Structure 1
Amino acid sequence: MKKSNYTTIIILLSIFFSVQILSAQISNSETLSYDVPSSVGMDSLFIQSKVDSIMTMAIKEEAFPGAQVLVAKNNKIIFHKAYGFHTYDSLQPVGLTDIYDLASVTKIMGPLPALMKLHDEGKVDLDAPFSTLWPKWKNRKDKKELTIREVFAHQAGLVPYIIFLQEVMKKNGSVKNRFVRLEPSRRFNTRAYENIYIKDRFRNKIYRKINSSKVSDIKKYKYSGLTFLLYPEIISRLTNMDYETYVTQNFYAPLGATTLGFNPKNKNYPNKIIPTEIDTLFRHELTKNWVHDENAALMGGVSGNAGLFASATDLAKMMQMYMNYGTYGGKRYLSETTVKEFTKVQYPENENRRGLIFDKPEINNQELTLADSYPAPSAGPDSFGHSGFTGTFVWADPKTQMVYIFLSNRVYPSRSHANIYKFNIRSAVQQVFYDAIID
């Protein structure tokens, strides 16, 4: 081979490897890595002492038996620490890879990314009637004109919640045999728990009750989880794909968020799964490996209102993607325009702080005390996230480039344990990281 040909090949290979290295550097700069707080201008000693103090107090006051906190700033995880135990018997310490029942955090991790992608594709028009997504509402006088934007922003006047467990339980506490069986069969394949199977057509009863639910004439902020029970079906219809498969293939798998998923009992994760509540009503034992939320359980554990489980690091990847306005690791998942629209306050003139499905800070949050604020007082107006009934919380603040993940099982042993709210634990810990930023 001629020398000139060798030279050409060497030059081409050099260019190829340079591009590969540059591509890897770009990718790595946009993915989460671990570092120390000082690397992003934060006071490490202040963080350690303050967070340890709050968490020690919280566990002592039985706000939860254990929890973990993860904070990333500027694409770097600068704090990730576990506290306490899975339960108050102090036998199993909380681990950094443990998987939690996310409860309502599911709303922004499950249906939301799918609906945002469908909006990108022109299949979800925010100002069209919600009945374009759910045709049954076209025949409902009080629902046919409700817009998707109003529903997504909790501005539609829908009923907050319907307890569907009442439909399958008798007054004496036993289950109705026509809806619930202890073994699967041809018509009972919807698995709610270890040995609880729901009639497959029960979800149609759920849909009918949502369709006939009342709507308030007053259009103001009123949180409602009803339509989140519809989103899996809506997403499946629009994509011609199973809901869980769609979000896994388009988001979780490419992000490397391997623990994000429904019904972890069936997935053989090596990670330990945190238990939730000792259920004395329906499951009659400590709920673990299966969703805590009864409505999601009656849907077979796969829903839009609850049902997702995940580790802290996998939640951080999703929140970092949102905070990057749709990109992570050099890959674009959602358009910047769409993410900015969904994370924007929609009806501020109506004293409604919500974005589209995303939660937002109180309108005047930075003027409030820690006790009155939501979330931490220093959370910026552009920030967004969501909380979960089981004691979970995720938040992203684009201005400070900070992602905050708080995971606990505050519903153990009972959902009546409310000290996580009494002491504002999640907001107090979050505020520490704002206070730790060195000017």
Structure 2
Amino acid sequence: MARRVRLSAALLAVAVSVAGSAVAVAQVDGHASGRFDRPRAGFAPPTTVLRPGSPESVGLDAAPIRAADEAIARWTRPDPATGRPLFAGAVSLLAHDGVVVHRGVAGQAVRYADAAGTELPADQQTPMRADTIFDLASVSKLFTSLAVMCLVEDGLVRVDERVAAYLPEFGVNGKAAITVEQLLTHTSGLEPFIPLWRDWPDRPARIKAVMDRAPTSPPGTKYVYSDLNLITLGVLVERLSGQPLDAFTADRITTPLGLHDTGYNPPASKLDRIAATEYQAVPARGMVRGQAHDENAWSLGGVAGHAGVFSTAADLSVLGQAILNGGGYAGARILRPDTVREMLTNYNTEFPGSDHGLGFELSQRWYMGGLTGPRTAGHTGFTGTSLVLDPASRSIAILLTNRVHPSRSWGSVNVARETLATGLARSLAVRPRHGGDAWHAGFGNGATATLSTPPLAGSGTLRVAFDAFVDTEAADPLVLEASDDGTTWRSVPVRAHGPGAPVGEQPLLSGFGHRSWWKINAWVPASGRITLRWRSTTDSRYAGRGVYLDGITVTDSSHLLLSGEKEPHLLRPQGWEVRTR
């Protein structure tokens, strides 16, 4: 049986000193910190330990972080249209290169008396605080997945093995071929949810109901997010370890990492720090606080593979850093780097848009925002929680809300999740490719920005060359256009070269995750005077890091017609701005 390895702990020293600069540039592990356009490979040094610091201390721009924090605070205040907030309260945390650069606290941990939203008297409300403990809901699935991978390292489980080899009672009703991997990646074919708490009388009957359940689609044929997958894995952990899931999780994950406020069924002594969740009439639980909000997890005694873990932003940040470090933190190692690498590898390539590692969701822009990339990992929880880990920038974004307090019907917090992660992404620098500045199309949603040349007079075919940094979804393209009269425009095909660039001639450019500048070339037949423009368009959501242009040149066979570096005043921006990062 493999043993956990203890590493000698050492604090990572980060030297920061840039005289006369408003935003300092730190050096971490031999790389410039605070850069979005220099993605990191591999894991952070295993000695990286979180410490407090300012955004500027690691080369970040504090303004986007402040803007995200202010937006989250606004969402805890009543909306004039509805008379209620988006969520009662929130705690947020951002970290970059081992430095906690932001801690945000807003609103109330306990605010309402009933499902209708009757506010408690002010002296009976409980304000949020940095160490408020939240019901993580489905973020708990990450702890179960980590526990499974501990058993993999112990040699007790293989992810490609059939679940029935470990739980024979599971292999009925069409489930004999389902593998551990398919449970971890939600490709088992099991349905999302069944009301265990309502339709079965006790824990043994409820577990048997999950073991007996037939798939609703052939295993391996589609992605369907299912609580049943993780409930099954929780049982597997208990069966093979010989311990209850909560005890195994404590022994192998939370205790080694020093996560003192993380676990199932928090003690009554911590109730004053626990955020309330929903007022439940069915089942008749009243205002739920300190017990698992998820009815099935509650009916299973508060300990289940899919839900039930409580934690704080600080504890989650340590877990996140341990993953970014490759499985180790402050001298303790919970998993080997190769195991963590597998957890962050997309196993669902045949299901585009449903990227998933062994437990971790990957590349989900709807809550990862501008940090989204192929290796960006995380999870959300129904109660209003989210964890985002970005190995490419070695960053962490945590948002914990009690959005179901007092009712789950009050709305989604996805906009807040995305806003926080995007705020961190926008604080990271994209340095100009040429000189000290570049054109940026801005961050607005539902907007169009154009950057136009004056009418150019060239002979034959014009060559248009420029560098572009494109971090957008497909619905937010960059297009090069040409016009003979300045009113009617036609698209000009372009060829891009660089990491992540599309292959061959393209009518437009979009893409994210590569985080690299591309070299672009286009050829435009010219007969008389011609005007060129770059048009960036965004839809209503998910603007990402945006579009940058630099090094624009236009030539014909014998003349330089325009140099964007030497003659920037000739370019006509509408919605574009000059930026240094």
Q: TM-score, normalised by structure 2?
A: 0.61
Q: 1:259, 1:310 within 8 Å by CA — same for their partners in 2?
A: yes
The alpha carbon displacement at 1:122 in A equals 1.9
Equivalent residue in structure 1 for 2:135, among 101, 107, 114: 101
Match of 1:7 in 2: none
Residue 115 and residue 418 in structure 1: after superposition, are their counterparts in 2 closer, same or farther (change >3 A)? same
Match of 1:409 in 2: 402
Structure 2 residue matching 1:345: 3-state secondary structure: coil
**Which structure is higher in strand share?**
2
Amino acid at match of 1:35: G
Q: 1:58, 1:420 within 8 Å by CA — same for their partners in 2?
A: no
Larger Rg: 2
Range with greater deviation from structure 2 (297-306 or 206-215): 206-215
The alpha carbon displacement at 1:374 in A equals 4.4
Matches within 5 A, 1:25-424: 25=11, 29-57=47-75, 59-61=77-79, 62-86=85-109, 87=111, 89=119, 91-109=125-143, 111-138=144-171, 140-167=172-199, 179=201, 202-215=202-215, 216-217=217-218, 219-266=221-268, 268-269=269-270, 272-351=273-352, 352-362=354-364, 365=365, 373-421=366-414, 424=415
The alpha carbon displacement at 1:28 in A equals 10
Alpha-carbon RMSD: 2.1
Q: 1:99, 1:271 within 8 Å by CA — same for their partners in 2?
A: no
Q: 2:254, 2:260 within 8 Å by CA — same for their partners in 1?
A: yes
Q: 2:211, 2:232 within 8 Å by CA — same for their partners in 1?
A: no
Amino acid at match of 1:53: A
Q: 1:230, 1:304 within 8 Å by CA — same for their partners in 2?
A: yes
Amino acid at match of 1:103: A
**Which structure is higher in helix share?**
1
Range with greater deviation from structure 2 (142-151 or 203-212): 203-212
The alpha carbon displacement at 1:211 in A equals 2.5
Percent sequence identity is 29
Residue 75 and residue 309 in structure 1: after superposition, are their counterparts in 2 closer, same or farther (change >3 A)? same
Q: Deviations over 1:268-321 (max 9, x none)?
A: 237611000011112341111111111001111111111111111001111111
Q: 1:97, 1:271 within 8 Å by CA — same for their partners in 2?
A: no
Q: 5+ residue gaps in structure 2?
A: 1-7, 13-44, 80-84, 113-118, 431-581
Paired with 2:355 and 2:388, the residues of 1 have a C-alpha distance of 15
Match of 2:24 in 1: none
Structure 2 residue matching 1:416: 3-state secondary structure: helix
Q: 5+ residue gaps in structure 1?
A: 1-21, 169-178, 180-201, 366-372
The alpha carbon displacement at 1:265 in A equals 3.6
Paired with 1:325 and 1:390, the residues of 2 have a C-alpha distance of 28
The alpha carbon displacement at 1:24 in A equals 4.1
Paired with 2:256 and 2:235, the residues of 1 have a C-alpha distance of 23
Range with greater deviation from structure 2 (159-168 or 400-409): 159-168
Q: 1:326, 1:333 within 8 Å by CA — same for their partners in 2?
A: yes
Q: 2:173, 2:214 within 8 Å by CA — same for their partners in 1?
A: no
Q: 1:344, 1:382 within 8 Å by CA — same for their partners in 2?
A: yes
Paired with 1:235 and 1:164, the residues of 2 have a C-alpha distance of 20
Higher relative contact order (CA 8 A, sep 6+): 1
Q: 2:191, 2:226 within 8 Å by CA — same for their partners in 1?
A: yes
Q: Deviations over 1:352-389 (max 9, x none)?
A: 31112211114xx5xxxxxxx44214322111110000
Residue 203 and residue 356 in structure 1: after superposition, are their counterparts in 2 closer, same or farther (change >3 A)? same
Range with greater deviation from structure 2 (393-402 or 331-340): 331-340
Range with greater deviation from structure 2 (65-74 or 213-222): 213-222
Structure 2 residue matching 1:249: 3-state secondary structure: helix
Q: TM-score, normalised by structure 1?
A: 0.80
Range with greater deviation from structure 2 (154-163 or 217-226): 217-226
Structure 2 residue matching 1:375: 3-state secondary structure: helix
Amino acid at match of 1:387: T
The alpha carbon displacement at 1:324 in A equals 1.2
Structure 1 residue matching 2:236: 3-state secondary structure: helix
Q: How many residues get paired? A: 372
The alpha carbon displacement at 1:207 in A equals 2.3
